[in-house]
Amino acid sequence: MARPGAACPPPARRVMVAARALLFWALVYSYCGVCACIAGLRLLWSIGRRPGETFRWVVRENPPSCLNDPSLGTHCYVRIKDSGLRFHYVAAGERGKPLMLLLHGFPEFWYSWRHQLREFKSEYRVVALDLRGYGETDAPPHKENYKLDCLIADIKDILESLGYNKCVLIGHDWGGMIAWLVAICYPEMVTKLIVVNFPHPSVFTEYILRHPSQLIKSGYYFFFQMPWFPEFMFTLNDFKVLKSLFTSQATGIGRKGCRLTAEDIEAYLYVFSQPGALTGPINHYRTIFSCLPLQHHEVIMPTLLLWGERDAFMEVEMAEITRIYVKNHFRLTILSEASHWLQQDQPDIVNKLIWTFLKEEAKRKRE
Q: Which segments of the chain does DSSP mark as H helices, in order?
A: 10-49, 51-54, 114-120, 148-161, 174-185, 201-210, 212-217, 219-223, 229-247, 262-272, 279-283, 317-321, 342-345, 347-366
Give the lowest-confidence range in 143-157, 215-229, 291-305.
Answer: 291-305
Confidence of residue 24 (pLDDT cuts 50, 70, 90): low
**Rama region for 228: left / alpha / beta (φ>0; ψ in -120 to 50; rest):** left
- Confirm if 200 and 322 have CB atoms less than 8 A apart: yes
Q: Which residue has the higher pLDDT, 31 or 297?
A: 297
Q: Return the pLDDT at 1.
A: 38
Q: Return the pLDDT at 50.
A: 85
Q: Return the pLDDT at 28.
A: 72
Domain ranges of the chain: 67-209+287-365
Identify whether 264 is a catalytic site residue.
Answer: no
Q: Which of 88, 104, 340, 345 is catalytic?
A: 340
Per-residue pLDDT tens over the stretch 3-21: 444 445 577 777 776 676 6
Angle at which helices 229-247 and 262-272 pack, to 10 degrees? 170
Per-residue pLDDT tens over the stretch 288-342: 887 766 777 899 999 999 999 999 999 999 999 999 999 999 999 999 989 999 9
- Confirm if 156 and 162 have CB atoms less than 8 A apart: no
DSSP state of 13: H
Percent of the chain with pLDDT over 70: 94
Q: Return the pLDDT at 315.
A: 97
Q: Which residues have CB under 8 Å from 171's CB, separation 6+?
A: 102, 103, 105, 177, 178, 179, 180, 194, 195, 196, 198
Q: Return the pLDDT at 7.
A: 47
Surface-to-core class of residue 219, CB atoms within 10 Å of its CB (0-12 exposed, 13-18 middle, 19+ buried): middle
Query: Mean pLDDT throughout 103-119?
Result: 98
Among 208, 199, 163, 206, smallest CA distance to 180 is for 199
- Confirm if 181 and 148 have CB atoms less than 8 A apart: yes
The half-sphere exposure of 156 on its side-chain side, counting CA atoms within 13 A, is: 17
Rounded Cα–Cα distance for residues 282 and 299 (Å): 27
Q: Return the pLDDT at 5.
A: 43
Rounded Cα–Cα distance for residues 196 and 105 (Å): 10
Strands 99-103 and 167-172: parallel
- Confirm if 171 and 196 have CB atoms less than 8 A apart: yes
366 has a pLDDT exceeding 80: no
Query: Mean pLDDT throughout 60-86?
Result: 97
Q: Which of 130, 138, 157, 173 is catalytic?
A: 173
Question: What CATH superfamily is the domain 67-209+287-365?
Answer: Alpha/Beta hydrolase fold, catalytic domain (3.40.50.1820)
Q: Return the pLDDT at 114.
A: 98
Q: Which of 111, 146, 207, 285 is catalytic?
A: 285
pTM beyond 0.75: yes
Identify whether 340 is a catalytic site residue.
Answer: yes
DSSP state of 252: S
The mean of the pLDDT values for the chain is 92
Query: Mean pLDDT throughout 264-287?
Result: 97
Rounded Cα–Cα distance for residues 238 and 14 (Å): 49
Query: Mean pLDDT throughout 253-270?
Result: 92
Surface-to-core class of residue 294, CB atoms within 10 Å of its CB (0-12 exposed, 13-18 middle, 19+ buried): middle
- Three-class SS of residue 193? strand
Identify whether 221 is a catalytic site residue.
Answer: no
Q: Identify residue 316 by its one-letter amino acid code.
A: V
Q: Which residues have CB under 8 Å from 334's CB, separation 6+?
A: 307, 308, 309, 316, 319
